[in-house]
Structure 1
C-alpha cells in the first residue's frame, strides 16, 4: 500500500504546474444541481433509480446514458452528482438517462449486484423508450471515473459466457461509449483502489475469481466506437489508465479505442460545464449522436 501511495505522489509531482488550475473536488461538489424531469425506479433501494432529463419537442430524442462515479462507494454522492449536466444537453435536444446503482459497500452492491443494477437500468431504458420518446438508434453511454468502468462494462456484457449471471445485452448498440477519466483494466488499476477509495471496495467489486467477468479489458465491446477521455492533469485516474485498456484490447478486438488527452484538465474538469474540457466532451457526444 505504501508503494501505491508513493506511485500516486510521484505521478502528481511529475505532471508539473498547469497554465490553468484544474477543477477541484470541492468546486465540483458546489455546482448547482437542478431536479430532473422525472425519476424512474427500477428496484427497491433508493439508489436503484434513474434521473431522466427530457428536451422540449416531440422527439424521438437521442439519448446520453450517464453513469456516475465516486469510487464505487456509498460514502460519495450518487446519481445526483451528475444532475448539473442534464440542462447542458437537453437544451441541445439530447435526453439524459442518468443511472444510480448500489455501490460496492452498500447492501446488495458489489458483485453481482452493482452490475445487475446497471443492466436493469439499461433494460428499463429499452422498455420506457416509446413512452418517453427516446431514440434507441441514437444512444451514447458515458461514465465518469468509476462510472467509466461501468459504462465500458455495460457495452461489453454481451461478450460474457451465456452461463454468467451477468451476461446480457442492453437491447441496443450504442453509437459510442465515452469513458471520462474511467477505468477499463481493473487488473492493473486494482492496486490503487485501496489508496484512492479505501479498503474493501475492490474485493467486493471484483473478487479474484470473477475479475474476468467485470473488467472491461477482459471483454469485447459491442460498439466500434470507444473513446477514452483523460485529463492530462488528472491525479486520480491518469492518462496511462486509458492506455492500459487500449493495450489489453489490441489484437483480440476489432474495436480500437480512441484516446483523447485534454490539456490542463484534471479529473473533474471533464464533467464541469464551465471548464473547456467539458466543451470538448460535449462535442464528442454531439458528434456521436449526429446532433448539430
Structure 2
C-alpha cells in the first residue's frame, strides 16, 4: 500500500509540474532533458543513493568561492529528480568561477526520509563543506547558500538552524556551518503560509511527512518561524512573475513573517516573463538573473 501511495503521489506531482509552465517558459520536460555533466568529485555521507554531494570545481587551483546548492522537486522522489537535476546549473556556474557544493538528501516520500531525517541529511551535507572543502581548493569563508523551490525552503532552513527550539529532533551538538548570505530561487520561506497550496502543487501527503506534527508542526521546519540569525547579512528571494508552482506571494509571505530588523535584510527580485524552471535553466534571462545575485553576494 505504501508503494502504491508513493507512486500515486509521484504521478500527481509530475502531472501538476508538467501543467504549470506558461506558454513560452521552460517546462519540466525540457528541464529534465538537459544534459547532466558529471561532477568533478562526489562525496558520500550515508548509505542511501540520495545521500551524496556533487562537487563542481572551476579551472585552476583556487581557493574558489562556493555556492552550496540544494535541489527542489516537491521534496519528493520521482523520476529525474534529485541533485542530478541541478548538474547543468552547477557546471555552468563552475565554468564561470564558482565552485558548487550540490547537496542530495533523503526526500519526504523516500525510504528513511521525511521528518526528521530529511533535515538532518541537509544539515550533515552542508556542514561537510567545513571539513572537506579546503582540501578541494574551496574557500569555505566565501560561500552563499542557495536552493530552488523545495530546495529554497531547505536553504533558508539551513541558514536559520541556530533558531531551532530546545528539544527539537533537528538540533545537533555541533555548531552549524556559518552562513552569511542566501539566495532563495522560487523558494518557500514560510511553510505554514504555503501549506494550503502544497497538496495542489506537490500532491497529497507530502506536508505531513515534512513536519514533526504535534501542537505546532511548523515550529522547527519553517524558516519564517526560526527567524533569521544576525550572522545572515543578506537574503535575496528571486521569483519568476509567471511561476504557477511557487508564486511571487511566497517570497513576500516569508519577508512579512519576519520581525522588522530581519525583514530589512531580505530583498525581493522578481524576474518578468519567466516561469518556475526558467530560473534554473542555463541560457535563459531568468537563469542569468539568479547567477547575478549569487555572484554579487560572494565576497
Fold in common (TM above 0.5): yes
Asked whether 1:94 is paired with 2:98, we answer: yes
Q: Does the 8 Å contact 1:85/1:273 carry over to 2? A: yes
Counterpart for residue 59 of structure 2: 56
Shift of 1:161: 2.7
Gaps of 5+ in 1: 1-8
Q: Aligned partners of 1:70 and 1:253: how far apart in 2?
A: 28
Q: Does the 8 Å contact 1:250/1:256 carry over to 2? A: no
Counterpart for residue 195 of structure 1: 200
Asked whether 1:83 is paired with 2:97, we answer: no
Counterpart for residue 139 of structure 1: 143
Q: Aligned partners of 1:151 and 1:254: how far apart in 2?
A: 17
Aligned-pair RMSD on alpha carbons? 2.0
Q: Aligned partners of 2:187 and 2:163: how far apart in 1?
A: 20
Gaps of 5+ in 2: 1-15
Which aligned pairs between 1:38-187 and structure 2 lie closer than 5 A? 38-76=41-79, 77-168=81-172, 169-174=175-180, 176-187=181-192
Check 1:252–1:287 CA distance in 2 against 1; reply closer, same or farther (3 A cut): closer
Check 1:112–1:221 CA distance in 2 against 1; reply closer, same or farther (3 A cut): same
Counterpart for residue 271 of structure 1: 280
Shift of 1:274: 1.2
Q: Does the 8 Å contact 1:36/1:52 carry over to 2? A: yes
Q: Aligned partners of 1:87 and 1:74: how far apart in 2?
A: 23
Q: Does the 8 Å contact 1:270/1:277 carry over to 2? A: yes
Counterpart for residue 280 of structure 1: 289
Tell me the TM-score normalised to structure 1 length. Answer: 0.89
Shift of 1:253: 3.0
Shift of 1:165: 2.5
Asked whether 1:212 is paired with 2:219, we answer: yes
Q: Name which of structure 1's ranges 83-92 and 138-147 shifts more when overlaid on structure 2.
A: 83-92
| Shift >4 Å, 4+ stretches | none
Number of residue pairs the alignment of both structures matches:
275
Q: Does the 8 Å contact 2:189/2:254 carry over to 1? A: yes
Shift of 1:162: 4.3
